[in-house]
């Protein structure tokens, strides 16, 4: 009986942890004043048009939120946090958001964003 109770407690603790912390890919459509607006998209096959996953969401940033450039690690095949973006949400990446938005991996805890990892935005090669 006691073992079952301990097992149920562990499962419940893990489930609660998943509810409060989330990490996902999204497109940031608006940023400023300590808030961001993002849109999630459903996964589609290559060549298909993007499909929105619900409505756009506006959420507050935590006071200690990290805003970094994401870098792809070829060895682990995972996206990792790189250097911090100067100015945070005031960086020109967010000041000049186009219709396409800014691709990012967003980490939240509860109702606040704790990390924004900006992805994409490869530099164009100089014309020779």
Q: Which of 38, 88, 41 is nearest to 62 (CA)?
A: 88
With a cut of 70, list the residues of the chain below it in pLDDT.
10-20, 121-128
Give the residue numbers spanning the domain of 102: 22-118
Q: How far apart are CA 36 and CA 39, in angstroms?
A: 10
pLDDT score for 2: 72
**Do 112 and 60 form a contact (C-beta atoms < 8 A)?**
yes
State phi, psi for 86 to the nearest 5 degrees. -60, 130
The verdict on residue 5 lying in a domain is no
The verdict on residue 125 lying in a domain is no
The verdict on residue 126 lying in a domain is no
The verdict on residue 13 lying in a domain is no
pLDDT score for 20: 64
Count of structural domains, the chain: 1
pLDDT score for 121: 61
pLDDT score for 11: 67
CA 76 centroid distance within chain: 19
């Amino acid at each position: 009986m006691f073992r079952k109770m301990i097992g149920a407690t562990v499962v419940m603790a893990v489930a609660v942890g998943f509810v409060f912390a989330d990490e996902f890919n999204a497109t940031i459509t608006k940023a400023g004043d300590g808030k961001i607006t993002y849109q999630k998209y459903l996964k589609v096959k290559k060549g298909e048009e993007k499909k929105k996953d619900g409505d756009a969401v506006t959420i507050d940033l935590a006071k200690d939120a990290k805003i970094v450039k994401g870098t792809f690690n070829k060895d682990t095949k995972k996206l990792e946090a790189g250097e911090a973006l100067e100015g945070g949400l005031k960086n020109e990446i967010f000041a000049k958001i186009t219709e396409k938005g800014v691709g990012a991996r967003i980490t939240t805890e509860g109702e606040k964003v704790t990390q924004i990892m900006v992805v994409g935005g490869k530099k164009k090669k100089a014309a020779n």
